[in-house]
Structure 1
Amino acid sequence: MDRAPSHLRAVILAAGDGGRMRGHTTATPKPLVPLNGRPIVEYTLEALVAGGVTEALVVTGYREAQVRAALAGGHEGLSLTFVTNPRFHAGASYSLAAARPIVGDAPFLLVMADHVLSARLIERLRGAAAADPGRCFVAADSGPRDDAFSDEATKLALGLDGSIIAIGKQLPRWDALDAGAFVLTPAVWDAAATVPEDCELSVIMSELVRRRQLFAADVTGASWYDIDTEEDLQAAAAVVAGR
């Protein structure tokens, strides 16, 4: 039997090599890079717990021994398990695939270890899934953002029914930004089966969009930050300090 949406397990993608932050990640995996004196991934774990999640699967790859050692003691309120993506240098699709044998056909919450999310965002996303448990959702932020942030972010165009009708970084018209957190159902495995095995998550999400199977969970007003570069790290530090 599928898990009820109120008991969603989180899948945390923490396998990448952080190539755009090579000055930090040559010796330290990106999830453990300090943000205001604490590893980035700690903010993810805290948001999950505060947002009502009690169980998480961490997908590791690059310098996974360091990541697992750092998280070996667990996190209060959150039961952690681990799975390895041995092909972490390739597309992030392999990290998603690594989670499949464990999550099976249950819906799950997908987050990135390098996204600083708030509990409010997690609560909103879980709430959307609880209200309509058969759907896949993406955290969609329609609030104002500065141009530099918006230029880098993935954009979403929404249909009248709340479905995502277009997704990408170069959309000429868009309604919200993709905050990088999702609730996914087995529909994601069907979508993944029709795209190249080695691809980025955006390709799989685009296939869900093509099928009209991805919907917006409104997280406007909830704080989040995607850390890709040194500049992002500095900006995220200011966001975290201002909470």
Structure 2
Amino acid sequence: MKALVLSGGSGTRLRPFSHSMPKQLIPVAGEPVLAHALGAVARLGVTDVGVVIGGWEREIAEAIGDGSRFGVRVTYLRQERPDGLASCVALARPFLGDDDFVMYLGDNVLPDGIHGLAAEFRARRPAAHIAVQKVEDPRAFGIAELASDGSVVRLVEKPEPPCGDLAVIGVYFFTAAVHAAVAAIRPSARGELEITDALQWLLDQGARVTAGEYAGYWKDTGRPEDVLACNRRLLGDLCREVRGDVDAASTLSGPVLVEPGARVVRSRIDGPAIIGAGAVVKDSHVGPHTSVGRDCLLNAAGVADSVLLDGATIAAVPDLRGCIVGRSATVTGGARRVHHRLMVGDHASVELPG
């Protein structure tokens, strides 16, 4: 089996961050979302991974490299413009050949793993096997209607009114039968080759398409609030490890990871939290569910339930909560304790009133 990991798309819901970096490189729990996706497919025993990239080729290649740190071999597949998930399959045909493959959307996180889904696919070997999960608002998703044996009867995109609550989430398993489907369909009303149309084509041709209900945690990290929620969930699995320097005047409570080269001076860190390599935390309080990126500086700062990207600086701001602060951005202010919730893009400077 091979893997196809999709890392294109514009990420409009993650602006301002997606103006200056691909959404798949937004970090959660200290690693880019895309790294979590590659780890998930590697744990299936898959070693050949095609990564579909768009305009952020250099940035993604720098972050992921050849895939060896995940135990996989990465082949980059350049997509000139995002025109549908099925078009990614067509683009990857020379790489995929006639092998079975798993397609994983690179902005989705499933930390509980996808071994069960893979086992179902291998045991039953339908033309396609899709992951589904119950959602509160079916109108925002592609919805699968299932027979009692788990076979897919029909796929409906963003139904109004809802015809079920099983949303198709970001993991698909395919045999080579999908290539005929992709070649046969035409662009949708929005001008894209939809993977749901390819799946429906398979159904119309009498092929077997099945679904597995995913019981684990799943998050599409398409919005800032999703990034923060995912960061909270992944930090919940953190183990305490101190590889940097923590002085005697500082206190660590709970699972805290202090990476090499990081320094904690006269500060309190309440886990789960990550202090990235080279970061300096001085006279500050880092609260639970916070990821502090590499080379960040916190001075007389208080931050909780937040993600600070590499090189961010927080100074004299005692109560930041639910924030995402971009790379090399600076947030400064007076000592007045007022709760602030900020979304600050890369290299921005924000001065709060004292």
TM-superposed deviation, 1:134: 4.2
Is 1:158 the counterpart of 2:168? The answer is no
Paired with 1:11 and 1:91, the residues of 2 have a C-alpha distance of 14
User: How many percent of aligned residue pairs carry the same amino acid?
Assistant: 28
**Structure 2 vs 1, CA of residues 91 and 201 (structure 1 numbering), >3 Å: closer, same or farther?**
same
Asked whether the 8 Å contact 2:151–2:210 carries over to 1, the reply is yes
Kept in 2, the 8 Å contact 1:153–1:177? The answer is yes
Query: Counterpart of 2:212 in 1: which secondary structure?
Result: strand
The Cα of 1:135 is off from its aligned counterpart by: 2.9
1:131 paired with 2:120, answer: no
Normalising by structure 1, report the TM-score.
Answer: 0.84
Aligned pairs for 1:95-110 (under 5 A) are 95-110=88-103
CA distance in 2, matches of 1:225, 1:94: 23
AA partner of residue 141 (structure 1): Q
Specify which structure has the higher proportion of strand: 2
Distance in 1 separating the partners of 2:45 and 2:222: 27
Match of 1:216 in 2: 211
Q: How does 1:139-218 map to 2 (within 5 A)?
A: 139-142=131-134, 145=135, 147=136, 151-167=139-155, 168-170=157-159, 172-174=162-164, 176-197=166-187, 198-211=192-205, 212-218=207-213
Secondary structure of 1:83's counterpart equals: strand
Q: Which has the larger radius of gyration?
A: 2
CA distance in 2, matches of 1:226, 1:210: 29
SS of equivalent residue, structure 1 residue 26: helix
Corresponding residue pairs, total: 229
Superposition map of 1:64-75 within 5 A: 64-74=57-67, 75=69
Structure 1 runs of 4+ aligned residues shifted over 4 Å read none
TM-score by length of 2: 0.59
Aligned to 2:331: none
Q: Give the 3-state SS of the residue equivalent to 2:186 in structure 1.
A: coil
Determine helix, strand or coil for the equivalent of 1:70: helix
CA deviation profile, 1:174-213 (whole Å, cap 9, x unmatched): 2522222011112211111221154233332333344453
Cα deviation for residue 63 of structure 1 reads 1.1
Relative contact order, higher structure (CA 8 A, sep 6+): 1
**Aligned residue in 1 for 2:15:** 22
Which range moved further: 209-218 or 44-53?
209-218
Question: Is the deviation greater in 210-219 or in 8-17?
Answer: 210-219
Alpha-carbon distance, 1:242 to partner? 3.3
CA RMSD of aligned residues (A): 2.2
Partner letter of residue 207 of structure 1?
W
Tell me, yes or no, if the aligned pair for 1:51 and 1:119 is still in contact at 8 Å: no
8 A contact 1:138–1:216 mirrored in 2: yes
Note the alpha carbon deviations across 1:59-106, whole angstroms, 9 max, x for none. 111211111121115233222221111233x33333221111110111
Q: What amino acid maps onto 1:227 in structure 2?
A: T
